[in-house]
Amino acid sequence: MRGKTFAQIIALFAITVSTLFTCAQTPPAVLTIHADQPVSAVSPTLYGLMTEEINFSYDGGLYAELVRNRTFQSDWTGVPYWYLYEGGSAVAKMQPDDQTGPSEALKSSLKLEVEQADMKNQAGVLNVGYWGVPLHPDTTYKGSFYAKADSADIGPVTASLVSDETGKVLATATISGVTTSWKHHAFTLKTDSIQASATNHLLLSVGHAGTLWLNLVSLFPPTYHDRVNGNRIDLMEKMAAMHPAFLRFPGGNYLEGDHISERFDWKKTIGPLVDRPTHLGPWRYQSSDGLGLLEFLGWCEDLKMQPVLAVYAGFSLMQDLVKPGHDLEPYVQDALDEIEYVTGGTDTKWGAIRAQNGHPEPFKLTYVEIGNEDTFDRAHTYEDRYAQFYKAIKAKYPDLQLIATMPLKNMKPDVQDDHYYVRAKQSFKEAAHYDKADRNGPKIFIGEWATREGAPTPNFNSALGDAAWMTGMERNSDLIVMAAYAPLLVNVSPGGMQWESDLIGYNAMNSYGSPSYYAQVMFATYLGDHTLASKLEGAGPKLFYSITGNATKKKLYLKVVNASSIPQSLEINLPGAKLAATAKLVSMTAPGTQSTNSIDDPRRIVPIESTLSGVSSKFQHKLPGYAIQVIELNQQ
Ligand code: AHR
């Protein structure tokens, strides 16, 4: 400062402050949108859902069954999630019995040998559910089981819902008619004005000495659309809010299994539950297969989604392989049967079986995916396996679009499934990935994608990455026909998660959407049907946008993502456009990248709706730091 006058020092100080201030604001960026210049169509099926049995997505998740291990699978510890109950002076023992079961599929059972019991001192078995049995006041629960006894003298079975904390019986029913042969028994349990809680268990007990065998013990709360064997209401509602156009099922790794015998063998997942043997999934827990092929289709029907059916293509994760050619033929036939089950009339073999299973109406099917992530096949047989499936399926169903799970050299598939699991920084970069992609190649299905920061569910940095990435997908949705975030669901109870960063979290009682979930809701709700010519100037590398329109609704949807902590001024020019002076603003912001929602704080970060005024063909808009926004502009 030596040699400077006081005035010079003040001037220097002023320049420094103003420089700092300008840096903290960043100069205004200019976005020019030509509302009268459509560029390309936006795929109406762009946003959908990808699903598989992972993170207790179905059992202990979407599939509303409350009884865990209802078919009494056993291991060295005994029969997990089932415990012996000896009330008062009752004496009994329980053990798995592989000598008797209610069906060909369920050949074993749980054997309860009661040495001593009376009606006041009952003996039985209890189930602790999936991290508890959630109960609500004034609610009816539908239960059932298969049972047989060594003699009818065993008397009635009592089914009770019991509070873990107080020991109080919250609902009870008596089921008589157990005989010496296997029979199905149904009951209902109704709660009264109890306190909602998950710290409860289900107890089945008897009041006489004797032997009782049990299997397929089931208990359902009310389900979405009251479907029998249906889905959990809160999770279905959360998915409905995402306006999904399709459901990709049954996986993912879950389609393939670790071994061929552990694949999603669809024929073993249809029909009465007692005819479903259950199977071990690749995420290393037993799947009840209660959510089987027809239940996936019912889920599609309930949320008005089209099915994207993935068929097993002869490769399992531990490198089990079915060689293309003769060996693969039965698997190709299995896929043809599966497609017939989904789409065939009741005059076809598998269409008639679907009708017998309760759904005479065929389902509309456009896309079939051949396998999953076959790039992991170290023998490199996918080109040939895909070609064999392609030939057989196209011969019978020429209109089906067949998705390949990796890029092919020898032929052009109808659609190619690309997967992305990345950090936020890469999502920002990849937002431009498809801008220059070959338009003469296959259409693209981004069958799995996610920005993976945050566990069990993604944090706001992930949501920013996702939103940036979605702007790129929308801009390129002439090429990208469909896209789905994965994984969709996670049970956040201890031990429930196998894969970090999942869109929707839940425990037995409650569920919540991550910031990434809300970003999806925002983008899918305001999709538009075509993109518009536009240009962004003067923006930094962390500003992303997408502009689409819907001519019939006379709406323009501007999505802007500011992934920087610094607010961003935006001059928005729409030369020649006639716009209403007010627009809808949907805005989601967070104080930092690590901010998130959780089961205990489910709505910390949610989109907020407000009205934007002063809208014209040239207006100023200021984006906060860390912001995802949709502006719905009304054309006049
Ligand atoms: O989404 C989790 C897994 O990631 C899927 O099962 C698999 O397809 C991918 O590798």
Residue ranges in the chain modelled with pLDDT below 50: 1-23
State residue 27's pLDDT score: 78
Q: Among the atoms of ligand 1, which is closest to the Cα of residue 253?
A: 6
3-state secondary structure 1-41: CCCCCHHHHHHHHHHHHHHHHHHHHCCCEEEEEEEEEEEEE
CA distances from 536 to 87, 405, 462, 557 (A): 74, 35, 23, 16
Q: How far apart are CA 521 and CA 535, in angstroms?
A: 26
For the Cβ of 372 lying below 6 angstroms from any atom of ligand 1, the answer is: yes
Residue type at position 164? D
For the Cβ of 59 lying below 6 angstroms from any atom of ligand 1, the answer is: no
Q: How far apart are CA 432 and CA 429, in angstroms?
A: 6
Q: What is the pTM of this model?
A: 0.95
Ordered alpha helix ranges (H), 6-143: 6-25
Report whether 278 contacts 73 (CB < 8 A). yes
Find, among 251, 392, 395, 379, the residue nearest to 311 by Cα: 251
Helix (H) or strand (E) holding 409: none
Pairing mode of beta strands 183-190, 401-404: unpaired
Ligand 1 centroid–CA 393 distance in Å is 25
Q: Is the dihedral of CA 42, 43, 48, 52 positive or negative?
A: negative
DSSP 119: T
Q: How far apart are CA 334 and CA 313, in angstroms?
A: 10
Q: Which positions ≥6 away from 260 have C-beta within 8 Å? A: 316, 320, 322
For the Cβ of 376 lying below 6 angstroms from any atom of ligand 1, the answer is: no
Q: Is the dihedral of CA 191, 194, 199, 205 positive or negative?
A: negative
Span 429-472, pLDDT tens digits: 999 999 999 999 999 999 999 999 999 999 999 999 999 999 99
Span 291-330, pLDDT tens digits: 999 999 999 999 999 999 999 999 999 999 999 999 999 9
Q: Is 208 helix (H, G, I), strand (E, B) or coil?
A: coil
Helix (H) or strand (E) holding 568: strand 568-573
Span 365-421, pLDDT tens digits: 999 999 999 999 999 999 999 999 999 999 999 999 999 999 999 999 999 999 999
Residue type at position 202? L
For the Cβ of 371 lying below 6 angstroms from any atom of ligand 1, the answer is: no
Residue with the smallest CA separation from ligand 1 atom 2 is 487
Residue type at position 268? K
Ligand 1 centroid–CA 360 distance in Å is 33
For the Cβ of 427 lying below 6 angstroms from any atom of ligand 1, the answer is: no
* Exposure of 6 in the CB half-sphere (CA atoms within 13 A): 0
For the Cβ of 250 lying below 6 angstroms from any atom of ligand 1, the answer is: no
Q: Which positions ≥6 away from 114 have C-beta within 8 Å? A: 90, 91, 92, 123, 154, 206, 208, 209, 210, 211, 212
Report whether 481 contacts 454 (CB < 8 A). no
C-alpha R_g of the chain: 29
- Report residue 89 as tokens: 């002076």
For the Cβ of 285 lying below 6 angstroms from any atom of ligand 1, the answer is: no
Q: Which positions ≥6 away from 225 have C-beta within 8 Å? A: 236, 302
Q: Among the atoms of ligand 1, which is closest to the Cα of residue 50?
A: 1
Q: Among the atoms of ligand 1, which is closest to the Cα of residue 450?
A: 1
